[in-house]
Amino acid sequence: MISVVILGNGNVATHLYNAFSKASAIAVIQLNSRNPKNITNTDVTIIAVSDDAIQQVSQSISNRKGLLVHTSGAVDINAIVTERKGVFYPLQSFTKNAKIDFNNIPFCLETSNSDDYHLLEKLAKSIAKNSYQINSEQRKKLHIAAVFVNNFTNHLYKIANDICIKNNVPFEILYPLIEETAKKVQSISPEDAQTGPAKRNDVQTIKNQLENLNLQQQKIYQLLTKSIQEN
Amino acid sequence: MISVVILGNGNVATHLYNAFSKASAIAVIQLNSRNPKNITNTDVTIIAVSDDAIQQVSQSISNRKGLLVHTSGAVDINAIVTERKGVFYPLQSFTKNAKIDFNNIPFCLETSNSDDYHLLEKLAKSIAKNSYQINSEQRKKLHIAAVFVNNFTNHLYKIANDICIKNNVPFEILYPLIEETAKKVQSISPEDAQTGPAKRNDVQTIKNQLENLNLQQQKIYQLLTKSIQEN
């Protein structure tokens, strides 16, 4: 049995709490991060608060025994001030009220000593299929890569949606293509999967398509076309 | 029974032929587009050749009876020179050797007369669940939207893959996030789904992430960040 305290009441904290509650080998409680001083010690304390607050919360509970970890993709392990520290980062985009199946979410793990790594790995495996040993430097880069495949990709979907709305075409026609594009990179590399007017250098189509976009969309179209062609 | 000739031997032609062959209400043959003059007339002739060749192929078989359609997202219906003309455009990215399940691929249909629309719709429904009436102008815009959600999105995946390779992180860690991002727009609009440093205007994170990118990646990061913030 691993005993766990989760500090925080945001999306990640709540989703983690719900998942651990269903895992038989985990005893978990969730607490507001402001007043956790009087709680008994646990094997692991998970600080699931906003990036900016991690260091401060860690300082306020520096007398706690056990392993202290945060859940952020962007914050260094050393934001935790205690000796036994770690990172327990589920690489996914969490939305309030959306159901989360942790089983398919990869956990990026880091600890300051190797015994604690095994503890953290056991904790991750109690709710998820895959975990990876990722140090703070790698995690920072992974977080940047995630911005490209999640935040920026979603913005391209938004531009496509804008084009559909403007031209009275249902956006849902694009759902299967969006899904297929996302799935394809699991079997062939994105480099080999690249198709389209930019890749073929289809000058006439590129010219025609640019004429149908607004200024902001044109800039994005041109820059991404150039980047595809230079790769 | 609908009788069909498919002209062409590229990806779309071959995938369509395989799908129609399994549909009980369709009699289909596939031919090279160069010498189709001596073939008996059919209800529908599908010109599945490259965009540039559609008009010429259509001219070379202008004496054929029945409905003549092309399969392109970018070409106007009037590239077909006969009176009974149409467009039979499956909105998906076709890769050689990859298995295609037409059932989930939306067909965008257009015909010069309404009787032929019902014929074309029947043909689409024999292999696919969803079809939409989309005119040439709408189809052109849809094709542009498809470039954003497919070609450009795939290029963002490529950049993420480059970042992973450079930092010795397995790209597969990002697969669940890529899939989730693609699925999320089916339940909430991409505008509402937008998250990340750009959306939060997290200036410090944006600055840190930019420092870890090469020049080309920086330009894309900055332009997409700006575009997210102005929307």
pLDDT of residue A35 exceeding 80, the answer is no
Cβ distance of A92 and B176 shorter than 8 Å: yes
Cβ distance of A132 and B170 shorter than 8 Å: yes
Cβ distance of A163 and B174 shorter than 8 Å: no
Domains of chain B listed by start with CATH number:
2-134 (3.40.50.720), 139-230 (1.10.1040.20)
Of residues B170, B192, B218, the one with CA closest to residue A93? B192
**A137 contacts on B by Cβ (under 8 Å):** 167
Cβ distance of B156 and A152 shorter than 8 Å: yes
B155, B188, B205: best to mutate for the A interface, most A CBs within 10 A: B155
Taking the Cβ of residue A109 and every Cβ of chain B, the question of whether any pair is shorter than 8 Å is answered with: no
B225 burial type by CB count under 10 A (0-12 exposed, 13-18 middle, 19+ buried):
buried
**A98 contacts on B by Cβ (under 8 Å):** 184
Taking the Cβ of residue B22 and every Cβ of chain A, the question of whether any pair is shorter than 8 Å is answered with: no
Q: Which residue has the higher pLDDT, A98 or A16?
A: A16
Taking the Cβ of residue B122 and every Cβ of chain A, the question of whether any pair is shorter than 8 Å is answered with: no
- Hey, what are B198's tokens? 């750009």
Cβ distance of A209 and B143 shorter than 8 Å: yes
At residue B94, the pLDDT reads 76
A149 to chain B, minimum CA–CA distance in Å?
Answer: 6
Of residues B11, B97, B158, B95, the one with CA closest to residue A185? B158
- pTM for the predicted model, two decimal places: 0.91
Q: What is the ipTM of this complex?
A: 0.91
Q: Are A222 and A210 in contact (CB under 8 A)?
A: yes
* Rounded Cα gap, residues A43 and B50, in angstroms: 64
Cβ distance of A92 and B223 shorter than 8 Å: no
Q: Which residues of chain B have pLDDT under 70?
A: 36-37, 96-97
Taking the Cβ of residue B179 and every Cβ of chain A, the question of whether any pair is shorter than 8 Å is answered with: yes
**A149 contacts on B by Cβ (under 8 Å):** 156-157, 160, 174, 177-178, 181
**A142 contacts on B by Cβ (under 8 Å):** 163-164, 167, 169, 173-174
At residue A171, the pLDDT reads 98
Residues 6+ apart with CB under 8 A from B54: B47, B70, B72, B75, B79, B80
Residue pLDDT, tens place only, B14-47:
999 999 999 999 999 998 877 766 788 999 999 9
Cβ distance of B197 and A151 shorter than 8 Å: yes
At residue B38, the pLDDT reads 75
Place of tokens 């409680």: A29
Closest residue in A to B166 (Cα) is: A141
At residue B93, the pLDDT reads 82
At residue B101, the pLDDT reads 86
